[in-house]
Amino acid sequence: MRKILIGLGIVVVLLLAAVVAAPFLFKDRLRALADKQIAQRVRAKVQYDPNSIDVSVLHSFPDLTLDIKNLRVIGLDSFGRDTLAYLPSLRVGLDVMTVLKGQEIKINNVELDRPDVSLRVLKSGRTNWDVMISDSAAAAKGQDTSQVRLAIKGWKVTDGHLRYEDLTLPFRMEARQVNHTGSGDFASNVFEMTSKTTAGRLDMTYGGVAYVTDKKLDADVTMNMDLNKNLYTFKDNKIKLNDFPFSFAGAIGLPNATDITYDVTFRALETDFKTLLSLVPGVYTDKFKNVETSGQVAFDGYYKGTQNKLRMPGYGVNLAVTNGRFKYPDLPQEAKNINVQLVVDNPSGFTNNVKVNVSQFHLDLGPNPVDGNVTIDGLEPMKVDGRVKANVNLAEALKVYPVPGLSMRGQLAVDATGKGTYSKTQMPVVNAAIKMTNGYVKSNKFPAPIEDINLSGTVVNTTGQVNDTYVNLPQFHMVLEGEPLDGRLTAHNINQPVFDANVKGTVDLTKITKIFPLAGMTVTGRVSGNIAAAGNMADVEAGRYQNVKASGTVQAKNVTYKSKDLPQGVNISSAAGTFNNNQIVLQNVNGTAGSSDFAANGTVSNYLGYLFTPGQALKGTMNVTSHNFNANEWMVDPVSNKSTATGQGAPAKATGVLEIPKFFDLVLNSKVDNVTYDNLKLTNASGTVAVNNQIATLKDLTFNTLGATFGTTGSYNTQNLAHPKFDLGLNIKNLDFQNAFKAFNTVKALVPLAAAVQGVFGTNFNVSGEMGQDMFPKLSTLSGTGLFDIVKASVLQSPVLSQISSLTTLPELKNLQVLNKIVNAQIVNGNFVVKPFDLAIGDVKMTVGGSNSLAGLLSYVTAINAPTGKLGNALSGKLTQLTGVQNIQGTDRVTLGLNIGGSMASPVVKLTSGSLKDQGKAIVTNVVKTKLTDALLGLATKNRAKTDSTQKATATTQQNSQEQLNLELQKKKLEAQEKAKQAIGAGLNSLFGGRKKAAAPAVAPAAADTTRK
């Protein structure tokens, strides 16, 4: 016993020692390994804090656990703003012996806590999860691929969130509250993998239609994994959506690098109608277990074929409901005689070849029957033959199906038939009628009931031609909280409708949007009007508004609007308008936009074309005034095209790009007392802004800021929101050098000499370039030319002047005073080039010119003509060497040539020439010309490279487009071949009296084999 206790004690001591020592012994090594593997094997941005990596032996003993917190994987290129995965807690179980020996490290298990994973497939077929670099690709780069090996035996996901979106289909799936465990020996080539998955909420949509909404998922799956053959076979499995259980049989294979093969069947495991009822939205609640049901269900289908760039597997679904019935125990009526026969079949897999046959749909909602049937053959074009007929007393319907907090009354009748082909040029022969009598709707969510709802309408097409469709709504009436709304509408000729409509009444937008919510938007206020319109859309599109009869008045009070794209919101306290065929006249429009107030009036034309014809612009002239306007709130993110404002107050600084709206052709005469832009305050802003084709043209725009007067004429272009451009003429008067240097990054980068200047200047400068995403110019794109009018300037304590004064032994050059001097300058290829200008400091003459780069490097030259007697003896010796004149002191004046390099903080001044001639102007001019020529050559090279890059990108895009087009043509060809085969097969079957068309399956016992024959 004593030996056992000693042995146990030794084990405990060793375990404690391992717990204490593991972080110190392995943490740095495993952190370095993780960094290296991510850098070499992951084609994405991986963000995590290296200090958050921890190592322990307790969590998955005897394995060593590597714990990484808050790891984020972000895609590249097209997915550069997409988070592929956010992993708050990632635990990786490592084989401890492989870590100790320093050999190839084996990963035995993986655990994810609260992961958020988003998988996307673009229309081009690109996937955002293709981020791992293969062993062969890594080996080709000479990288070591033997340091890590997957030998996973188990994995676990807790409270996960998974999104999958495939735009090629289009299909979308989202699962929340996902818990998943799995096990299997991936170190072997043939083994069984078992998994258990639950999801608290599962949603699936296909083609914009929601097929699975807010369902619970419970799945137990066992698969045989043959890694040698890349074949994965379903064994025991049971999957439940809410209470509806079904299972799979068959296999999925990966025979090569491009194909996935499917041979899978599925079937319901129970025949009780109640299991299918659990999938109906709103039914599956805590009270579901008490619902009385009867009836039977049969459900089966298949998914078979090859998936690759050209093909998708074929599929089919059979559903039969026989004599279904349900009754809620606390409601007096029941739904009964529920009979459904549904067959979906598409053996070729091409979406356009699908066939849907709902041969029977019937149910009785209490005493009210609902009947329908439809067959669909193909999608483009779509052959349709169907009918729906119902005459439902809404009050009786609520006695069958509970909707908490909802009251309804009235009679709703629908009778519609359609038969024929639906395409871009055809539509089925249609005869549809709808009628609502004495309708009433009241919900706990609504502020007031909608009462006295009466409407009747028909949609009729007797020929199958699109333009022979007639819509007639002769009367519509409703009352909302005592306020009536009436209207009527007739229309025909779908391509270019001929219409006649009238609406009259007052609408409380607050109540309407609570009844009919607008996703992501909040609208309040009251709008009243009397609007009539009659005419032909052909006249609208051609601009023949004189042929359209439109008239009316509209008044709005306290209308507010907010959305995700416009979180700062717009509030119109009052507005009135009248309109006719040609224009809308706006009067007394007052309100706020975010924190900015405004008042407006004016006229708007072409509103009919703007509303009804895509691509036509809204035209007009508006007069806008404001006391305070905050431009920071109206910036737009160039990638998401959404506002950067939060709606929680104005941002402190400008973020994003100021976007010019599409399809506006407006002239805005504006006057604003105070403007906030970034950290600048502008006053007395006025001028004209013409907006057209996403270009704002500024004319005589003036404002005051920093104690100076600014005038601007030019344009701002956001046709490419990622690269907005501008071309402006600036006229600035009385701007303080220090204020300009502190306020404008452009001045700091292009004119660093201004840091040492005290005084006032003006400028007349034309400049063009590209705006950055902070709405400040991208300095590397600037080009321009103009002049600076230095009214008064003092250059004090400048390191440059100090060195010049010391080198020339001219103390008067240490501080300069400049009055009324014109300086010409040019911006080329990111260089600020100052053309030669002259200064006189007493009897010393000075010529200056040169350039500085965006990096802050100085490249100036100055020529100083001074009396020889002012120069010191040491400098005289240097000048004798430069000029070859032995008695330099015997001359009257001398010209010194100096180069100024380095930076403002650390300048380098060198004496480069000396001359007895007064040729300072020539020296500086020649040097500046050379610098200007070099800058222009650099710009030409840069533009050529940009053009070459654009052409290459265009060629790549065209090649990809051609490949995609060829792919689509091949798909169409195969699709047509498969459709022809089906037609020939059906014809031969009919000709020779073959087997009859298969009907929907009869109800089978739960254990019956319902695989596809």
Which residue did the predictor score with more confidence, 677 or 78? 677
Residue showing tokens 């009210």: 368
The answer, yes or no, to whether residue 796 has pLDDT greater than 90, is: no
- Helix H, strand E, coil C: the string for 51-80 is HHCEEECCCCCCCEEEEEEEEEEECCHHHC
Q: How far apart are CA 520 and CA 540, in angstroms?
A: 32
Which residue did the predictor score with more confidence, 677 or 555? 555
Residue 704: phi and psi, rounded to 5, are -115, 140
- What local confidence, expressed as pLDDT, does residue 301 receive? 96
Q: Please provide the DSSP assignment of 520-544 as one string.
A: TEEEEEEEEEEEEEEEEHHHHHHT-
Whether 579 and 546 have beta carbons less than 8 Å apart is answered as no
H-type alpha helices, 436-527: 509-515
Q: How far apart are CA 743 and CA 462, in angstroms?
A: 71
Surface-to-core class of residue 526, CB atoms within 10 Å of its CB (0-12 exposed, 13-18 middle, 19+ buried): middle
Angle value at C-alpha 391, between 428 and 512, nearest 5 degrees? 85
The answer, yes or no, to whether residue 16 has pLDDT greater than 60, is: no
Integer Rg of the chain from CA: 39
The answer, yes or no, to whether residue 649 has pLDDT greater than 60, is: no
- What local confidence, expressed as pLDDT, does residue 1008 receive? 35
Nearest to 552 by CA among 590, 509, 502: 502
Q: How far apart are CA 682 and CA 703, in angstroms?
A: 6
Three-state DSSP class for residue 618: strand
Sign, CA dihedral 784-786-791-796, equals: positive
Q: Please provide the DSSP assignment of 105-152 as one string.
A: EEEEEEEEES-EEEEEE-TTS-BTT--BPPHHHHHHTT----SEEEEE
Mean pLDDT (the chain, rounded)? 82
Nearest to 658 by CA among 622, 702, 698: 698
CB atoms within 10 A of CB 277: 24
Q: How far apart are CA 108 and CA 153, in angstroms?
A: 6
Distances (CA, A) of 854 to 206, 617, 752, 765, 935: 53, 41, 10, 19, 13
Three-state DSSP class for residue 98: helix
Average pLDDT on 890-896 reads 79
Mean pLDDT check: name the lowest of 181-185, 265-269, 968-972.
968-972
Q: Which helix (H) or strand (E) holds 196?
A: strand 190-206
Distances (CA, A) of 788 to 36, 543, 576, 735, 1007: 55, 50, 49, 11, 92
Q: How far apart are CA 224 and CA 188, in angstroms?
A: 12
Average pLDDT on 86-99 reads 82
Q: Which residue type sits at 963? A: E
Mean pLDDT check: name the lowest of 315-329, 331-345, 357-371, 650-664.
650-664
The answer, yes or no, to whether residue 657 has pLDDT greater than 80, is: no
* 1010: DSSP letter: -
Q: Which helix (H) or strand (E) holds 452?
A: strand 450-461
- Provide the token pair at 260: 């996935």
Whether 550 and 582 have beta carbons less than 8 Å apart is answered as no
The answer, yes or no, to whether residue 11 has pLDDT greater than 70, is: no
The torsion angle over the Cα atoms of residues 743, 745, 751 and 754, rounded to 10 degrees, is: 30
Mean pLDDT check: name the lowest of 208-212, 221-225, 868-872, 1002-1006.
1002-1006
Mean pLDDT check: name the lowest of 295-299, 476-480, 639-643.
639-643
Q: Which residue type sits at 56? A: S
| Pairing outcome for strands 618-630 and 664-677 | parallel
| pTM exceeds 0.75, yes or no | no
Whether 51 and 69 have beta carbons less than 8 Å apart is answered as no
pLDDT tens digits, 676-719: 887 889 999 999 999 999 999 999 999 999 999 999 999 999 88
Average pLDDT on 167-193 reads 89
As a whole-number percent, the residues of the chain with pLDDT over 90 amount to 35
Which residue did the predictor score with more confidence, 131 or 342? 342
pLDDT tens digits, 561-606: 887 767 788 899 999 999 888 888 998 899 998 889 999 999 998 8
- Helix H, strand E, coil C: the string for 700-726 is EEEEEECCEEEEEEEEEECCCCCCCEE
